[in-house]
Amino acid sequence: MTGGLVAFIAFLGRFGANLVDKLLRLRSASPNSDEHNRQCARCGIRCVSGRHVRIVSRTMSLRQAPMRASGVDSQTAQGGTRSVDLKNIIFDKATIATLTVNRPAALNALNREVLEEMARVIREVRHDASVRVLIVTGGGDRAFVAGADIAAMAKMSAVDGLDFSRLGHRVMESFEDLPIPVIAAVNGFALGGGLELALACDLIVASDKARFGQPEINLGLIPGFGGTQRLPHRIGHNKARELIMTGEMFDAKTALELGLVNQVVAAGDLAETARKLAEKLAGKSTVALRQAKAALRAAFTMEQDAGLRFEQEAFGIVFGSADRVEGTSAFVEKRPPKWQHK
């Protein structure tokens, strides 16, 4: 055996040993330990209950990640999701994009097909840097989303029900994890899965005709798309317990008083109000908005110590951006900033 080959084999042995050692140390570190957090920080991911989840790029630029298999072909990805591909969703792709759940005859109820179409749209939005804000609403004038499709659920086995809940969770998390602001424009009933969809959005603007609730208890069920976790975070545990355990519905005024929604407007003004809010957000630095959303998300998913460290990292990222230079310069020079979004 030649000396070069022997040296190469020895190198492979050392490389493999080092890799195994790193994996063992990462696995052994507790989710909230300093060692674990240091390793999370180095690779640019956060840890939730021991599971690594990417939340923010460690790089300063906003380069697009490669397209993943998403059920949308390359031609569609370039020009938007085609209507022939979506039966229950209307997707208007633009700087301010709109996703409309369009099953008005069923009060926009969520079934497996609707959830899968939502997931496809969200994947496209995630990989399109031209989209800066997403508005989510319901078709017709009666419902945002009136809940999950109960007729379909009645035919499910226990295994089917668990699988349906897992699909719903994945879709709601995909809304929540989008790096851009997501606005729910609630135009009617937002019950069960509909309220859970609104809770997965960053901001909620409601029509004065909107009605909210988690009525699953009346069907012998509990919220299955994240309501037991996100509702207490929005309105506090005490009131969330009451609403989930009684299944009572409440109006838009009550939702505003509880801090669930950000604004309540006349039904005829809902679309315009949501649009104006989206335009205000689209006029901010994309870099700063993304890091602000990531840090706010960390407040929900991390212990406070880890969240505070995460904020420091996010602050460092924005401080190194061209937009920070432009923003501070514009302030000093008393002129509007011209964001480069990098």
Long-range contact set of residues 265-271: C-beta below 8 Å, sequence gap at least 24: 265/205, 265/206, 265/207, 265/208, 266/207, 266/208, 267/141, 267/187, 267/207, 267/208, 267/209, 270/185, 270/186, 270/187, 270/205, 270/206, 270/207, 271/137, 271/185
Per the CB < 8 A criterion, the answer to whether 310 and 48 are in contact is no
DSSP-assigned letter for residue 272: H
Instruction: Label residue 133 exposed, middle or buried (CB < 10 Å: 0-12, 13-18, 19+).
Output: buried
Beta strands 143-145 and 189-191 are parallel
CB atoms within 10 A of CB 254: 16
What is the Cα–Cα distance from 306 to 314, expressed in whole angstroms? Answer: 12
Instruction: Label residue 231 exposed, middle or buried (CB < 10 Å: 0-12, 13-18, 19+).
Output: buried
What is the Cα–Cα distance from 330 to 312, expressed in whole angstroms? Answer: 24
CB atoms within 10 A of CB 81: 25
- Return all residues near 105 (Cβ < 8 A) that are at least 6 apart: none
- Is 248 one of the catalytic residues? no
What is the Cα–Cα distance from 232 to 218, expressed in whole angstroms? Answer: 20
- Is 196 one of the catalytic residues? yes
Half-sphere exposure of 75 (CA within 13 A, CB side): 2
- At 196, the amino acid letter reads E
Of the candidates 117, 124, 216, 311, the residue annotated as catalytic is 216
Of the candidates 196, 272, 279, 333, the residue annotated as catalytic is 196
Per the CB < 8 A criterion, the answer to whether 89 and 114 are in contact is yes
Query: 3-state DSSP call for residue 223?
Result: coil
- In terms of Cα–Cα distance, which of 156, 146, 136 is closest to 106? 146
Show which residues are catalytic: 196, 216
